[in-house]
């Protein structure tokens, strides 16, 4: 390979150190939390957090899965809202974006502007709060976690820009063959748009999966908590889960004390589990999505 | 009128596709604008439909906000924290992107990038759980280290002065991987011939980076900088609320406009005030975005938002 002078070698060493250390640092908290989720309460109290589990203890996970229904219930709500929300996002966004690329639609510019303008202003928290609770009556309703986040102008324009790259001739020849716009959209354009659907779908799914702000504002019913909100409650109120631990929990504990830190860490780990599993896939499409967005927003 | 009906008839399927979205934007983005009126009333939930018959008090709520010490305090915190995030974020992102691009071992470069990108997917609530493992008073890793060095336990959750630094750190942890992507794409777009030519002229790697890569990244940096300045009065509620919560001890440095508005609405029940502060934020934010976009348009038409 090419020879490097001393300065270059030092620089390269420096860059290896920077990127290497930073990426280890990115992994570090996950590791500490993972270790803590396997630690028993006694050693946590005695030694605090560590880099290696003093003992390999599954009590926290047992409790999360069998000792309480709260975590599984929140998991279910999170999965349902994520699936429904992502699907709704894709349907509404693509249906809104496609007509904006059809040249024969006269009001195309005005409607684009109508969508664009929403990026510039918002009514703020109070009007949104009153709208949601008093006009739409969505308080303590799972729909509040699904519907309001389903459409935003940014996604519309990402998708519109993608549709605009598909050749006009496709739609024109289908039209000559007698197809209507609905058919063209559904049977021709959508199947050609899988990459952008995947990208926007993943962005949306990520947003829904990590949703807790709307729960904070609009949901009091514990059965409708999302996983992230549950984690926040456990974090701010250490005994939050413990009050829901029933007889089955005592069985799972088998005489040990309740691992309060372990419970918190195990719940956090479970919530990011699917993300880690899907990570290669997520990364690929997210990288694509960011560069699409950066090239033209 | 006639041609409108004709147009709708000709493109009826297209308008049918547009309809859900049009309704959606109307309900969730345009309708709340009517509620800006709440900023000018002494809100009474019982007064008329949706409290619209509440007593009109004009500029009272805004005046009250601007005569209190709060407004300087929360505006300063919002802008100051965002400015810290923007400057540190852009610097570290650029450094990491250049670093990743220079690594000779492709496998390492890819692995490092994957690791850096991972925190982006983790929500602030989980970051808060992780943060407690590191900063906790009882058994937190940092305090264990301090104790091991013979120093006293430091209570991070009671000392507001360290929080701007902690927030910057956590923000970098979560956001840098995402930010490097745009820089890496820009670097990948640089014409390789420039580097070849520099090499023939005897330039070292260090010189190529400092004289070619960094200057060519400047337009991207300026653009990202200006676009983030557009959002400088909009705080990250999710981050602050998940990490700090309702902890009043940390408010001196972490209370931002968004947490203040939330508290006014949900904790103090001062709805008129909450709406007024939001209005202030929206107006300033609107001006910031428009000017940022105008500036960007002047420099590079294609990077402008609209």
pLDDT in tens, chain A (297 residues): 456 788 889 999 999 999 999 999 999 999 999 999 998 888 888 888 988 887 788 888 888 888 788 899 999 999 999 999 999 999 999 999 999 999 888 889 999 999 999 988 888 899 999 999 999 999 999 999 999 999 999 999 989 989 998 888 888 899 899 889 999 999 999 999 988 898 899 989 999 999 999 999 999 999 999 999 999 998 888 777 776 676 667 666 766 677 788 888 999 999 999 988 988 888 888 887 777 655 443
Q: Which residue of B140, B237, B275 is in closest CB contact with A49?
A: B140
Q: Are residues B265 and B237 in the same domain?
A: yes
What pLDDT score does A255 carry? Answer: 66
Q: Identify whether residues B236 and B163 lie together within a single domain.
A: yes
For chain A, helix (H) and strand (E) counts, in that order, are 17, 0
Of B56, B73, B88, the last residue of a domain is B56
* pLDDT score of B209: 93
Residue B300 banded pLDDT, cuts 50, 70, 90: confident
Q: Which residue has the tokens 């703020």?
A: A124
CB within 8 Å: A296 and B50: no
C-alpha A265/C-alpha A48 separation (Å) is 13
Could you tell me the CA-to-CA distances from A8 to A2, A165, A258, B204, B212 in Å, in that order? 11, 43, 55, 7, 15
Among the ranges given (A71-80, A235-244, B166-175, B218-227), the one the predictor scored with the smallest mean pLDDT: A235-244
**How far lies A289's CA from each of A158, B20, B200, in Å?**
9, 25, 37
Task: For residue B42, list its beta bridge partners.
Answer: B55
| Same domain membership, residue B220 and residue B262 | yes
Q: How many CA atoms lie within 13 A of B200 on its CB side?
A: 6
DSSP string, chain B: -HHHHHHHHHTHHHHHHHHHHHHHHIIIIIHHHHGGGGGGEE--TTSSGGGTTSEE-TTHHHHHHHHSSHHHHHHHHHHHHHHHHHHHHHHHHHHHHHHHHH-S-HHHHHHHHHHHHGGGGS-HHHHHHHHHHHH-SSS-HHHHHHHHTTPPP--GGG-GGGHHHHHHHHHHHHHHHHHHHHHHHHHHTS-HHHHHHHHHTT--HHHHIIIIIHHHHHHHHHHHHHHHHHTTT---HHHHHHHHTT-GGGHHHH--HHHHHHHHHHTS--HHHHHHHHHHHHHHHHHHHHHHHHHHHHH-GGG---
CB-nearest to B242 from A22, A232, A294 is A232
Q: Which pLDDT value is given to residue A252?
A: 67
**Class assignment of domain A69-240?**
mainly alpha
Q: Domain spans of chain A? A: 69-240
Q: Are B41 and B159 members of one domain?
A: no
Same domain, B105 and B19: no
Give pLDDT, residue B299.
Answer: 80
Decide if A185 touches B, using CB distance below 8 A: yes
Q: How far is CA B179 from the centre of its chain?
A: 12
Angstrom distance (rounded) from CA B147 to CA B155? 12
Token duo for residue B139: 């058994």
Q: How many domains does chain B have?
A: 2
Span B73-102, average pLDDT: 96
Pairwise pLDDT comparison (B230 vs B239), residue with the higher score: B239
Contact A92 B141 (CB under 8 A): no
Domain that holds residue B13: 2-56
- The verdict on A6 touching B (C-beta cutoff 8 Å) is no
Q: Give strand pairing partners of B41.
A: B56
The DSSP symbol for A101 reads: G
Q: What is the pTM of this model?
A: 0.90
The 10 Å Cβ neighbour count of residue A28 is 17
What does the pLDDT read at residue A292?
66
pLDDT at residue B185 above 70?
A: yes
State the CATH number of the domain containing residue B195: 1.10.3720.10
Residues of B with CB below 8 A from A96's CB? Answer: 17-18, 20-22
Do B36 and B161 sit in the same domain of this protein?
no
pLDDT digits (tens, 9 = 90+) for B101-135: 999 899 999 999 999 999 999 999 999 999 999 99
Look at B126 and A93 and tell me if their CB atoms are within 8 Å.
Answer: no
What Å distances lie between residue B260 and A166, B38, B177, B246, B281, CA to CA?
47, 17, 30, 11, 11
Regarding whether B83 and B25 lie in a shared domain, the answer is no
Taking phi over 0 as left and psi of -120 to 50 as alpha, with beta for the rest, A68 belongs to beta
Give dist(CA A94, CA B178) in Å, integer: 25
- Residue B298: the pLDDT is 84
The pLDDT score that the predictor gives to residue B304 is 67
What pLDDT score was predicted for residue A1? Answer: 46
B96 plus B195 within the same structural domain: yes
pLDDT at B230: 86
Decide if B224 touches A, using CB distance below 8 A.
no
Residues B27, B174 within the same domain: no
What DSSP designation does A104 have?
T
Q: Are residues B48 and B174 in the same domain?
A: no
State whether B78 and B136 are in the same domain. yes
């Amino acid at each position: 390979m090419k020879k490097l002078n001393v300065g270059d070698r030092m620089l390269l060493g420096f860059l290896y150190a920077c990127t290497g250390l930073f990426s280890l640092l990115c992994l570090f908290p996950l590791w500490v939390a993972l270790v803590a989720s396997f630690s028993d309460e006694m050693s946590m109290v005695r030694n605090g957090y560590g880099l290696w589990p003093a003992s390999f203890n599954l009590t926290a996970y047992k409790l999360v899965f069998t000792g309480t229904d709260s975590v599984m219930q929140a998991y279910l709500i999170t999965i349902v809202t994520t699936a429904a929300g992502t699907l709704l996002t894709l349907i509404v966004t693509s249906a809104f974006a496609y007509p904006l690329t059809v040249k024969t639609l006269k009001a195309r510019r005005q409607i684009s502007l109508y969508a664009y303008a929403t990026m510039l202003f918002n009514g703020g928290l109070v009007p949104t709060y009153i709208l949601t609770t008093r006009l739409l009556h969505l308080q303590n309703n799972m729909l509040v976690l699904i519907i309001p986040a389903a459409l935003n102008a940014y996604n519309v324009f990402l998708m519109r820009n993608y549709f605009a790259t598909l050749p006009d001739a496709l739609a024109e020849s289908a039209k000559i063959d007698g197809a209507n716009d609905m058919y063209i959209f559904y049977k021709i354009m959508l199947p050609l748009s899988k990459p952008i659907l995947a990208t926007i779908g993943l962005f949306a799914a990520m947003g829904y999966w990590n949703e807790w702000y709307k729960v904070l504002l609009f949901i009091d019913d514990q059965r409708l908590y999302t996983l992230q909100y549950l984690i926040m409650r456990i974090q701010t109120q250490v005994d939050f889960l413990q009050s829901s631990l029933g007889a089955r929990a005592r069985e799972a504990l088998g005489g040990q004390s309740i691992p309060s830190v372990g419970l918190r860490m195990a719940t956090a780990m479970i919530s990011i589990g699917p993300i880690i599993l899907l990570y290669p896939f997520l990364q690929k499409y997210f990288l694509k999505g960011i560069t699409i967005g950066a090239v033209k927003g | 009128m006639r041609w409108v009906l004709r147009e709708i008839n000709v493109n009826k399927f297209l308008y049918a596709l547009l309809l859900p979205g049009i309704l959606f934007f109307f309900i969730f983005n345009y309708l709340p604008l009517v509620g800006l009126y709440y900023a000018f009333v002494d809100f009474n939930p019982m007064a008329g439909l949706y409290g619209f018959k509440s007593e009109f008090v004009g500029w009272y709520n805004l005046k009250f906000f601007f005569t209190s010490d709060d407004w300087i305090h929360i505006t300063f915190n919002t802008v100051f924290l965002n400015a810290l995030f923007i400057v540190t974020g852009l610097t570290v992102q650029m450094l990491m992107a250049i670093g990743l691009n220079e690594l000779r071992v492709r496998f390492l470069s890819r692995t490092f990038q994957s690791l850096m990108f991972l925190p982006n997917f983790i929500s602030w609530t989980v970051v808060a759980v992780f943060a407690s493992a590191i900063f906790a008073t009882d058994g937190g890793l940092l305090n264990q280290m301090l104790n091991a060095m013979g120093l006293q336990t430091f209570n991070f959750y009671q000392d507001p002065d360290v929080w701007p630094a902690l927030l910057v750190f956590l923000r970098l942890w979560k956001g840098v991987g995402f930010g490097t992507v745009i820089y890496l794409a820009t670097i990948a777009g640089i014409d390789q011939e420039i580097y070849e030519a520099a090499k023939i002229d005897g330039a070292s790697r260090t010189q190529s980076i400092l004289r070619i890569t960094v200057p060519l990244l400047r337009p991207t940096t300026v653009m990202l900088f200006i676009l983030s300045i557009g959002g400088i009065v909009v705080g990250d509620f999710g981050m602050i609320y998940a990490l700090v919560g309702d902890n009043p001890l940390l408010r001196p440095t972490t209370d931002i406009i968004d947490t203040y508005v939330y508290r006014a609405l949900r904790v103090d029940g001062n709805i008129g005030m909450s709406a007024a502060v939001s209005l202030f934020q929206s107006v300033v934010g609107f001006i910031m975005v428009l000017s940022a976009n105008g500036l960007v348009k002047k420099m590079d038409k294609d990077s402008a938002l609209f």
